[in-house]
């Protein structure tokens, strides 16, 4: 397959049974600060791979829902995971959504990794031809915004922040690996406001949003986010005729609550596990909608990836 070639793959490796296959739990995991350490940006808890493999083997789908690019996920999480999985067939139970609902990674029935984007109808297609979901005007705006963001970083934030060139569908800036996260957070408020000022200057503040997270600040289209990623996960489960009895979403920031919002709106049995106990989960308003935590919410005692291990272990004990 040549780069950019569009191959529809609406089924993403369907399974043989015509009837739904029930699973006890489906996991929707944020990546930064959940699967990976927020400062080192790597999986530092080997138990995470062990627990993911155990769930995949038992038939419980494990999915990633992140703003990260496919390439970053593959390098830091997915390839290391696949290398540890003994039975490659269980990777059929794994799915990853990147760039907040715009890209995807999966495995076919032979355990071969496949990746691509979602088109305007939400159908996954292989390759990275952005024309399948990004119109020319939006692409032009993204290009201009990227130039301004690069200049701002160079002028004021190069000590703490870099521009992420691996993204296909958003303007993404990120904390430099190893930089002090609390210091990054202290600067992030001003940086976020300056990005919003750029949107206003270009007259596109209604077309794009600025979304600060634990280690990144993105400029993105309003319809993307963890809610869209959760929709993609639910669509994938439906295409593959997997019917989980219960859903567990795990996140470390307020924006991750959008996963819970989507699960609730679709009438699913779910819970939201928050793994950033040092930062109280605050109300978040998006387009006037109240995002105050109103879900089946549980907070881990351990932070970040240690908190995810805690989540897996607690669910294992209650299974």
**CB within 8 Å of 287: residues ≥ 6 apart:** 222
**CB within 8 Å of 122: residues ≥ 6 apart:** 231, 232, 235
| Distance in angstroms (rounded) separating the CA atoms of residues 70 and 87 | 23
User: Quick one: tokens of 223?
Assistant: 């319809």
Mean pLDDT of 13-28: 77
Of the options 3.30.1370.60, 3.40.720.10, 3.40.50.300, 3.40.50.1000, the CATH number for the domain spanning 8-131+225-318: 3.40.50.1000
User: Does residue 95 register a pLDDT over 80?
Assistant: yes
**Measured CA distances, 208 to 3, 34, 198, 223 (Å):** 28, 26, 11, 9
| Distance in angstroms (rounded) separating the CA atoms of residues 54 and 51 | 5
| Distance in angstroms (rounded) separating the CA atoms of residues 60 and 24 | 6
**CA torsion, points 233, 239, 244, 247, in degrees to nearest 10?**
10
What share of the chain has pLDDT > 70, as a percent?
90
Average pLDDT, the chain: 90
| Distance in angstroms (rounded) separating the CA atoms of residues 72 and 57 | 25
- Kindly report the backbone phi and psi dihedral angles of residue 271, in degrees, each rounded to the nearest multiple of 5, phi listed first: -145, 155
Q: How confident is the model at residue 293 (pLDDT cuts 50, 70, 90)?
A: low
User: Does residue 5 register a pLDDT over 70?
Assistant: no
Helix (H, G, I), strand (E, B) or coil at 26: strand
Q: The whole model's pTM is what?
A: 0.85
CB crowding 86-122: b at 16 or more within 10 Å, else e:
eeeebbbbbbbbbbbbbbbbbbeeeeeebbbbbbeee
pLDDT at residue 133, rounded to an integer? 87
| Distance in angstroms (rounded) separating the CA atoms of residues 91 and 25 | 16
State the DSSP H helix or E strand holding residue 96, giving kind and residue range, or none if neither.
strand 94-98
Count of CA atoms in the C-beta half-sphere (13 A) of 80 = 18
Model confidence over 193-239: pLDDT tens digits? 999 999 999 999 999 999 998 899 999 999 999 999 999 999 999 99
pLDDT at residue 235, rounded to an integer? 97
| Distance in angstroms (rounded) separating the CA atoms of residues 212 and 174 | 10
| Distance in angstroms (rounded) separating the CA atoms of residues 50 and 231 | 27
**Cβ contact 64:31 at 8 Å:** yes
Model confidence over 63-76: pLDDT tens digits? 999 999 999 999 99
| Distance in angstroms (rounded) separating the CA atoms of residues 157 and 187 | 9
The single-letter DSSP state of residue 295 is S
pLDDT at residue 19, rounded to an integer? 77
Q: CB burial class (10 A; 0-12, 13-18, 19+) of residue 155?
A: exposed
Question: Within the chain, what is the greatest distance between any pair of CA atoms?
Answer: 58
**Measured CA distances, 176 to 41, 43, 58, 249, 315 (Å):** 10, 17, 38, 27, 34
């Amino acid at each position: 397959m040549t780069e950019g070639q569009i191959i529809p793959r609406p089924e993403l490796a369907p399974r043989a049974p015509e009837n739904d296959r029930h699973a006890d739990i489906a996991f929707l995991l944020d990546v930064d600060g959940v699967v990976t350490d927020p400062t080192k940006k790597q999986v530092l808890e080997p138990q995470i791979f062990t627990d993911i493999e155990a769930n995949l083997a038992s038939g419980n789908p494990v999915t990633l829902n992140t703003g990260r690019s496919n390439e970053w996920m593959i390098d830091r999480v997915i390839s290391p995971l696949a290398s540890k999985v003994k039975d490659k067939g269980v990777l059929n139970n794994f799915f990853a959504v990147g760039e907040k609902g715009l890209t995807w990674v999966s495995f076919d029935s032979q355990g071969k990794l496949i990746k691509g984007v979602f088109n305007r109808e939400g159908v996954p297609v292989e390759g990275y031809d952005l024309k399948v979901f990004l119109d020319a005007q939006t692409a032009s705006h993204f290009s201009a915004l990227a130039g301004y963001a690069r200049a701002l970083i160079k002028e004021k934030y190069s000590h703490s922040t870099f521009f992420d060139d691996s993204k296909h569908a958003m303007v993404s800036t990120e904390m430099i690996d190893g930089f002090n996260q609390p210091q990054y957070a202290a600067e992030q408020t001003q940086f976020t406001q300056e990005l919003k000022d750029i949107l206003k200057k270009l007259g596109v503040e209604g077309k794009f949003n600025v979304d600060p997270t634990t280690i990144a600040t993105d400029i993105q289209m309003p319809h993307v986010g963890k809610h869209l990623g959760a929709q993609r996960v639910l669509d994938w489960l439906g295409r593959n005729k997997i019917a989980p009895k219960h859903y567990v979403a795990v996140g470390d920031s307020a924006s991750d609550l959008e996963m819970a919002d989507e699960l609730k709106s679709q009438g699913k049995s779910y819970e939201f596990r928050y793994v950033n106990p040092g930062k109280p989960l605050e109300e978040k308003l998006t387009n006037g909608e109240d995002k105050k935590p109103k879900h089946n919410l549980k907070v881990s005692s351990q932070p970040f990836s240690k908190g995810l291990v805690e989540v897996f272990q607690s669910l294992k004990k209650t299974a």
